[in-house]
């Protein structure tokens, strides 16, 4: 699963429509790579200004008059296999965030972690391997379900 945690001041991302649009844009990054849409989790976490410090200073941000947005991204379902794919992924992340963060004039930062797929389950199921018959079924129904280990590419 990709898990995006967007930490932001309470005065930003106040519209459910804006949050939905950004979450859909983020989801499209992964569905374009054939991941099931339900793998993608996006959490908007408002942080009060009194609880946000950068470099030991409050208010946060390079220019304290601008809201500061911090995003952590955890990729579990897939690993970035090489620099070409990495650069393409980061460019796609930048493209997704641009209208909602950069164009809004916010200061921002994000980081990407790749965590162990072996320590991941959804609804008690070990997810099928990328490109397997079972994963294609999960994509088609957009939900997890039981599958034979061989159809999921699992030994």
Using CA atoms, how far apart are residues 58 and 15, in angstroms rounded to an integer?
26
Strands 2-8 and 68-75: antiparallel
The pLDDT value given to residue 19: 98
Whether the predicted pLDDT of 51 surpasses 90: no
pTM of the predicted model over 0.75: yes
Instruction: Tell me how far CA of residue 77 lies from CA of 9, 89, 129, in angstroms.
Output: 30, 14, 8
Which tens digits make up the pLDDT trace of 94-149? 999 999 999 999 999 999 999 999 999 999 999 999 999 999 999 999 999 999 99
Q: Where in the chain is the domain with CATH 3.30.429.10?
A: 2-119
CATH 3.10.450.50 is held by the domain 2-119: no
* Whether pLDDT at 62 is above 80: no
H helices of 1-132, where?
A: 16-31, 83-97
């Amino acid at each position: 699963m990709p898990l995006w945690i967007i930490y932001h001041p309470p005065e930003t991302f106040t519209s459910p429509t804006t949050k939905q649009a950004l979450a859909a844009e983020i989801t499209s990054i992964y569905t374009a790579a054939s991941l099931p849409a339900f793998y993608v989790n996006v959490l908007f976490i408002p942080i009060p200004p009194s609880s946000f410090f950068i470099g030991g200073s409050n208010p946060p941000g390079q220019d304290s008059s601008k809201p500061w947005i911090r995003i952590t991204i955890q990729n579990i379902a897939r690993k970035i296999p090489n620099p070409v794919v990495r650069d393409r992924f980061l460019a796609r992340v930048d493209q997704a965030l641009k209208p909602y963060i950069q164009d809004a004039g916010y200061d921002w930062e994000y980081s990407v972690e790749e965590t162990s797929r072996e320590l991941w389950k959804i609804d008690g199921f070990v997810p099928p391997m990328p490109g397997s018959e079972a994963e294609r079924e999960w994509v088609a129904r957009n939900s997890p379900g039981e599958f034979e280990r061989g159809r999921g590419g699992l030994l």
